[in-house]
Amino acid sequence: MTDYHFYEPEEGHRLPHDPLNAIVAPRPIGWISSQSASGTRNLAPYSFFNLINYRPPLIAFASAGWKDSVANIDATGEFVWNLATRAQAEAMNASSANVDAGVDEFELANLATLPSKVVKPPRVAGSPVHFECKLTQLVRLENRQGDALDQWLVIGEAVGIHIDPAMLEDGVYQTARPVPITRGGGPADYFAITQDALFRMKRPD
C-alpha cells in the first residue's frame, strides 16, 4: 500500500513548497480587461478561473485581495475575458506586474486593443477569443467558520463572444489551434495546450 504524504493545511504541508496549485493544474487563465468608471483601462491575468455554466455562459475568477480588476468590475459591472495564447505569453506576464491603479497595463505590455460591442472595456488585439461579460455576482469568500476572507469571486455572464474564424474548422472550434496557455504550480510554470496532447474518450451511454 502507498504511504501517502498527508497533511492538514492549517498545520502546514511540511514540504519545500506548497503543492496545492501544482496539484490542481494546469489551470486556464482568466486574462481580464476592465475599465474604471472614469475610463482608466486595466488588464490582469488570474489563474483561479474557469467556465462554470453553459446556458447562460458564466465564467468566474477569484482575486486574492480587492485588486483593480475587482474594483473596476464592482463599479461598472463589465469586463472582458481574453484567451491567453503562447504567442502572447510574455505580454500576458507583463500585464501581471504589481503597479499603481493609474497604470494602463495595455501600454505596459505593449498591447493593442480592439473595441468591444456590448461592454465598454476593450479587448486584447491578437487574442483569438474574447468573452464580453456582465457581472452577475461578486462574492466575498469565507472559511469554514464563516470568517470573511480578503478573497473575491467574480462571476460574469458572457453576453458577447468573438472568435477568430481561423480557429474554426468546418464550423467547429479547434481547442489546440491557438495554443492556449495554462498555469502550473510554482512561481513560473506554464503549459501550452497542443494537438499532440489530444486523446478522445466518449462518455458511457
Mean pLDDT by runs of 10 across the 205 residues of the chain is 96 94 93 97 97 98 97 98 98 95 94 98 98 98 98 98 98 98 92 96 93
User: What's the pTM?
Assistant: 0.95
Whether residue 16 lies inside any domain: the answer is no
Of the candidates 127, 145, 41, 122, the one whose C-alpha atom is nearest the C-alpha of residue 82 is 127
Whether 7 is covered by a domain: the verdict is no
Q: What is the pLDDT, as a whole number, of residue 102?
A: 86
Look at residue 205 in the predicted model and tell me its pLDDT.
86
- Helices H / strands E in the chain, number of each: 4, 14
Q: CA dist 73 to 31, 41, 48, Å? A: 14, 11, 17
Query: Does a structural domain hold residue 193?
Result: yes
| Residue 9 included in any domain | no
Q: Are strands 49-53 and 58-64 parallel, antiparallel or unpaired?
A: antiparallel
Count of Cβ atoms closer than 10 Å to residue 112 Cβ: 10
- In the three-class reduction of DSSP (H, G, I as helix; E, B as strand; rest coil), residue 86 is classed as helix
Complete DSSP assignment for 72-104: HHHHHSEEEEE--BGGGHHHHHHTT----TT--
Structure-block grid coordinates of residue 133: 461579460
| Count of domains for the chain | 1
What pLDDT does 52 receive?
98
Length of the chain: 205
Inside any domain, residue 18? no
Note whether residue 112 is domain-resident: yes
CATH of the domain at 148: 2.30.110.10
- The parent domain of residue 169 ranges over 29-197
CA distance readout (Å), 32 to 12, 61, 92, 127, 178: 32, 9, 10, 12, 18
**Any domain includes 180:** yes
